[in-house]
């Protein structure tokens, strides 16, 4: 399975990430492209968030602090197709987003989010989308590692000592290693993209 999320059906989790550096990775399938959040880790009103936009199929790696945003972006998403999306927050002055292994320009705007200890896919605008193989690390992954992920390698195989959260979302597998994942509503089961080294139920 992969998890289909909407404004009422989603899951929340606790990835145990403190602050930058931070990497969020997942596969994304959107039937249509709208302004939507994919995944976020947050600290009250401040957060790091992966999202995508209708305009040119753009993905964002966004930080919010002090009531304003700083965003890195990369175009290349298309509707009704699986894409691999990665956000890398190296520091409070460095964020970058990758689509299918290709990275956009680094945004260097200073944003101090502070400790980020919980995550969600609750803030979904205008409907849902499908995600798979969600991973969060407490390091900034390298280009080679991101390329491996985009070729289909599971997040569980990349920098395992720094992997703080991994949800393969295969069949009934929402969480591993005792990490907490909670459903709200009913998560829709969708076809899963091929993943190399995925952890089966």
Predicted TM-score (pTM) of this structure: 0.88
What is the pLDDT, as a whole number, of residue 127?
44
DSSP 145: H
Q: Is residue 196 part of a domain?
A: no
CATH classification of the domain holding 107: 2.60.120.200
- What's the domain range around 170? 2-190
Q: Is residue 149 part of a domain?
A: yes
Residue 82 in this model has a pLDDT that exceeds 50? yes
User: Angle 67-69-71 (CA atoms, 0-180°, nearest 5)?
Assistant: 170
Q: Is residue 199 part of a domain?
A: no
Q: How many domains does the chain have?
A: 1
Summarize pLDDT for 117-142 with one digit per residue, the tens: 766 543 333 346 788 888 889 999 99
Residues linked to residue 41 through DSSP beta bridges, in sequence order: 48, 119
Q: 128 is written with which tokens?
A: 């849902």
Q: Is residue 198 part of a domain?
A: no
Q: Is residue 151 part of a domain?
A: yes
Q: What is the mean pLDDT of residues 171-179?
A: 53
187 — pLDDT class (breaks 50, 70, 90): low
What is the pLDDT, as a whole number, of residue 2?
44
Q: Is residue 93 part of a domain?
A: yes
Phi, psi of 111 (to 5 degrees): -140, 115
Upper half-sphere CA count for residue 155 (Cβ side, 13 Å): 26
Kindly report which listed range (5-9, 75-79, 108-112, 169-173) carries the lowest average pLDDT score. 5-9
Sign of CA dihedral 25, 82, 77, 30: negative
Q: Is residue 147 part of a domain?
A: yes
75 — pLDDT class (breaks 50, 70, 90): very high
Q: Is residue 195 part of a domain?
A: no
């Amino acid at each position: 399975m992969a998890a289909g999320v909407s404004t009422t059906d989603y899951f929340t989790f606790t990835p145990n990430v403190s602050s930058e550096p931070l990497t969020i990775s997942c596969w994304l399938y959107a039937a249509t492209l709208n302004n939507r959040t994919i995944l976020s880790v947050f600290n009250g009103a401040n957060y790091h968030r992966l999202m995508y936009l209708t305009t040119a199929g753009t993905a964002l790696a966004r930080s919010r602090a002090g009531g304003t945003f700083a965003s890195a972006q990369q175009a290349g998403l298309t509707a009704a197709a699986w894409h691999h999306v990665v956000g890398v927050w190296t520091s409070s002055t460095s964020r970058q987003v990758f689509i299918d292994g290709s990275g956009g320009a680094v945004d260097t705007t200073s944003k101090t989010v502070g400790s980020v200890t919980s995550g969600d896919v609750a803030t979904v605008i205008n409907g849902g989308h499908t995600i798979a193989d969600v991973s969060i690390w407490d390091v900034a992954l390298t280009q080679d590692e991101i390329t491996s992920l985009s070729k289909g390698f599971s997040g569980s195989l990349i920098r395992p000592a720094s992997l703080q959260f991994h949800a393969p979302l295969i069949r009934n597998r929402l969480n591993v290693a005792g990490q907490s994942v909670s459903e709200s509503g009913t998560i829709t089961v969708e076809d899963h993209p091929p993943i190399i080294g995925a952890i089966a139920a």
